[in-house]
Amino acid sequence: MTKPAEITRRAKSNLAFAFMCVPQDRRPDLNVFYAFCRVVDDIADDTSLPPDQKRKSLQNWMQAIERDDHPEHSLEAQVVDMRKRHSIDPSLLQEIIRGCESDLSPQRFGTWEDLQQYSYRVASTVGLILLPLFGASEAARDYSISLGHCLQLTNIIRDVGEDLENGLRIYLPLADLHRFQYTERDLVGRVYDGRFLSLMNFQAERAERIFEETANLLPAGDRKALRAAEVMRKIYHSLLQQMRRDQFRVFDRRYRISTLRKFGIMVRQCLG
């Protein structure tokens, strides 16, 4: 079985990168949590598995969160141990699984408010679980929820093209498409025109507002504990700005922030 630290190291994700800001003694639990997120997300995204098998695997995880009879050193046992030691509500971990499970069937979101419910499940809950793992207080709860929304919306903007290739997933609110007279058919056809740019700029402006709100919600007493979260916020904000400058060429490229720039963000955050 692959160890959590190895799963985290191989992932090369922005979240795993941000863990470098965290004291060494906190990293083992962070690796366990990241491995859990990676495993359940990979189940949902595995194109080689039939939907029924994916649902069964995710349901097994749903039940595993509350059981105590796992083999020693298994990821399930480590997740349960982490949850108990940090008094993490099992329903938060289960919400992440429900979010992954919802991706198994085509879904659409009528409004931003509808999309926020999904975003809470797959992103804000991650932030809430990370609070005790980072050593932050409950005063940062609203910050964590808001951070999840701005990171997830940035992901959605970046992944518009990839999501279409993965089961014609559409996460942009349909009301927003209608606002700019841009249809699902246009999106599936990768129509890149003024309507699409207006739609994407509208999403980016919404994300900008949430990024600003999130920064204002950070409690002064948790600034040190939440350095890694702030690194994430700044990396994703840089990603959003990069997409805006490039006019959202999301149908033919995947945007990413260079490792050098990410290190720069991290160093400034840790020294600030």
CATH of residue 201's domain is 1.10.600.10
2 domain residue, yes or no: no
Mean pLDDT of 204-209: 98
124 domain residue, yes or no: yes
Mean pLDDT of 76-99: 96
Give the gyration radius of the chain's Cα atoms.
19
Asked whether the whole model's pTM tops 0.85, one would answer: yes
5 domain residue, yes or no: no
- Report whether 136 contacts 221 (CB < 8 A): no
Q: What is the pLDDT of residues 41-55, one digit of tens each?
A: 999 888 888 989 999
Q: What is the pLDDT of residues 163-179, one digit of tens each?
A: 998 888 999 999 999 99
Task: Determine the structural domain holding residue 147 and report its residue range.
Answer: 12-271
Mean pLDDT of 258-265: 90
pLDDT band at 264 (very low <50, low <70, confident <90, very high): very high
Residue entry with tokens 């991706």: 103
Q: Which structure tokens are listed for 54?
A: 């994916």
Tell me, what's the pLDDT at 164? Answer: 93
Backbone angles phi, psi at 134, to 5 degrees: -85, -15
Decide if pLDDT at 189 tops 60.
yes
Least confident of 11-15, 65-69, 135-139: 11-15
User: C-alpha distances in angstroms, 159 versus 4, 88, 217, 242?
Assistant: 26, 30, 27, 14
73 domain residue, yes or no: yes
193 domain residue, yes or no: yes
Tell me, what's the pLDDT at 194? Answer: 98
Tell me, what's the pLDDT at 145? Answer: 98
Decide if pLDDT at 231 tops 90.
yes
Decide if pLDDT at 213 tops 60.
yes
Mean pLDDT of 202-227: 97
Decide if pLDDT at 272 tops 80.
no
pLDDT band at 271 (very low <50, low <70, confident <90, very high): confident
Is residue 85 classed exposed, middle or buried when 0-12, 13-18 and 19+ CB atoms within 10 A define those classes? Answer: exposed
CA 70 to chain centre: 27
Name the domain count of the chain. Answer: 1
Residue entry with tokens 């990024």: 211
50 domain residue, yes or no: yes
Scanning the chain, the segments in alpha helix (DSSP H) are: 4-11, 14-18, 27-45, 51-64, 75-85, 90-102, 112-119, 125-134, 141-158, 160-165, 174-179, 184-188, 194-217, 227-245, 259-271
- Report whether 150 contacts 232 (CB < 8 A): no
Nearest 5°: the CA angle 111, 117, 119 is: 100
SS3 of residue 272 by DSSP: coil
Tell me, what's the pLDDT at 167? Answer: 81
Mean pLDDT of the chain, nearest integer: 93
Residue entry with tokens 């025109």: 193
Mean pLDDT of 99-108: 88
Tell me, what's the pLDDT at 259? Answer: 86
Distance between CA atoms of residues 20 and 261, nearest Å: 15
7 domain residue, yes or no: no
Least confident of 97-106, 213-222, 228-237: 97-106
189 domain residue, yes or no: yes
